[in-house]
Amino acid sequence: MVSRVIPVDPFDLVIFGGTGDLARRKILPGLFRRFCAGQMPPSARVIGAARSDLDTQGYRDLVADAIAEFNSDFDHEADQLKGFLDRLEYVAIDAKGQEGWADLQKLLQGTDRIEAYYFSVSPSLFGDLAERLQQWGMADANSRIVVEKPFGRDLQTARTLNATLAKYFDERQIYRIDHYLGKETVQNLMAVRFGNMLFEPLWNSQYVDHIQITVAETVGVGGRGEYYDKSGAMRDMVQNHLMQLLCLIAMEPPARFDPDAVRDEKLKVIRALDPVKPHHIARGQYQAEPCNEAHHPGYRTAVGDPRSRTESFVALKTHISNWRWAGTPFYLRTGKRMAARSSEITVVFKETPHSIFAEDAGRHRNVLSIRLQPNEGITLGVTIKEPGPGGMRLVDVPLDMTFADALGPEGAEQVDAYERLIMDVIRGNQTLFMRGDEVEAAWAWTDPIIQGWEARNDVPKPYDSGSDGPTDAFELMRRDQRQWREVSA
């Protein structure tokens, strides 16, 4: 199967923070892959913008190094790299001052094309950038801005940021990025749910016992300790990534696959979420790896605060109060320095109401697991007869839909989430981006949880590096006679 690449219209993409970590690791290598795939039109330009004193050649060298480092497993010809680098320009600019803005204006003047501005800078600069773009006449009806996470740190700050951006741009011009929504499997989740008759009739509390969403990382806070300690797993992961996955798995079928129809349904899910009771949450902080403390210090050492109360792990149970899901618990879990890097959504169906197989004493449940990483794919566990003459014993086996196996190497070609989302920005498709009211609703649900911890001076429980989290998380499940799926790669 050969994947189709549909070129986008001519564009200029200005990356504010074009020298930063995200630009070098994800945005620029991703754009290069789209260039090699033939998706970028010949006249498209990518303009790096940051304070560093570089000329265009210096910037091209920096991007060439980034591509060599972060795209090392991507096969390409030398002339493809040169072709891409030739599209790059650089402007030294200060988001907070006036330096460089006249140069950027001059570069963009007189072109009749899509203008996209990627705010890959600290969120404290988002408002300044939006204001400067307006002030220098670069915010017209054809322009759009891409805003990175975190989008606020609570409801109040998110509202303020939404209001600031709304002064200069319409909602249809604002692309709040959550790269989880750009993952192939996440979109496949919608295809599986709404493109098949098979699942939808069973997709409710009558047939679904519970749903688990796990996003486990093996890395610790690394060099981001200072930022992370002010944020924690709830703000950094649950409020955005896990919430988005929860919305997609739980939402009603939208009338059309169009941005507002999809986002309206997601918003209804967030607004129907029950508040989380304190005893339905487990928080944790990872400990140092024994015998390897120098390389893998514990959380508090890594963030430089021996009394830190910020969680690097959180697990919680919540319910969605609507007709479809009343009574079905949703368990969410995410953490750092866990046993494996794995993101998975698991739908556990109920047992059959009555077993006709007297010889079989086991409990059998269909389990649909949607893996976002690694080995993107979908597996459905079904119950069959154990082969052999041993009588009518039942065994659970997986029906595996790993994309690479099902579609072959070309069909399963994995386009990185950032590549897909940037092309969606150019196409003007907001379906996979969060709307302002969605982000605010997510904070409105998250805020009381965090405020409760603060009011109770809650201290996260320690957990071993390389484990599946603190014992409280297992207790959360055990009390409900359920268990977490093992975190495995």
- What are the residues binding ligand NAP (CB under 6 A)? 16-23, 50-52, 93-96, 120-123, 125, 148-150
User: What's the N-to-C CA distance of the chain in angstroms?
Assistant: 27
28/367 with CB nearer ligand NAP: 28
**The pair of three-digit structure tokens given for residue 274, joined into one six-digit string:** 């029950």
Least Å from the CB of residue 93 to ligand NAP: 6
**The pair of three-digit structure tokens given for residue 109, joined into one six-digit string:** 């003047």
Least Å from the CB of residue 240 to ligand NAP: 10
Residue nearest to ligand NAP (CB): 20
CA atoms of 380 and 400, how far apart (whole Å): 7
Q: In angstroms, what is the C-alpha Rg of the chain?
A: 24
18/254 with CB nearer ligand NAP: 18
Least Å from the CB of residue 403 to ligand NAP: 25
235/319 with CB nearer ligand NAP: 235
Neighbouring residues of 77: CB distance < 8 A, sequence distance ≥ 6: none
Least Å from the CB of residue 103 to ligand NAP: 13
Least Å from the CB of residue 157 to ligand NAP: 14
Catalytic residues: 241
Least Å from the CB of residue 62 to ligand NAP: 10
Least Å from the CB of residue 241 to ligand NAP: 10
Least Å from the CB of residue 457 to ligand NAP: 28
177/208 with CB nearer ligand NAP: 177
21/405 with CB nearer ligand NAP: 21
16/32 with CB nearer ligand NAP: 16
109/124 with CB nearer ligand NAP: 124
| Closest of 125, 46, 129, 123 to residue 91, by C-alpha | 46
94/351 with CB nearer ligand NAP: 94
- Tokens 């190497």 locate to 409
SS (H, E, C) the chain: CCCCCCCCCCEEEEEECCCCHHHHHHHHHHHHHHHHCCCCCCCCEEEEEECCCCCHHHHHHHHHHHHHHHCCCCCCCHHHHHHHHCCEEEEECCCCCCCCHHHHHHHHCCCCCEEEEEECCCHHHHHHHHHHHHHCCCCCCCEEEEECCCCCCCHHHHHHHHHHHHHHCCHHHEEECCHHHHCHHHHHHHHHHHHCCCCHHHCCCCCEEEEEEEEECCCCCHHHHHHHHCCHHHHHHHHHHHHHHHHHHHCCCCCCCCHHHHHHHHHHHHHCECCCCHHHEEEEEECCCCCCCCCCCCHHHHHCCCCCCCCCEEEEEECECCCCCCCCCEEEEEECCECCCEEEEEEEECCCCCCCCCCCCCCCCCEEEEEEECCCEEEEEEEEECCCCCCCCEEEEEEEEEHHHHHHHHHCCCCCHHHHHHHHHHHCCCCCCECHHHHHHHHHHHHHHHHHHHHHCCCCEEECCCECCCHHHHHHHHCCCCCCCCCCC
Least Å from the CB of residue 253 to ligand NAP: 30
228/299 with CB nearer ligand NAP: 228
CA atoms of 367 and 346, how far apart (whole Å): 7
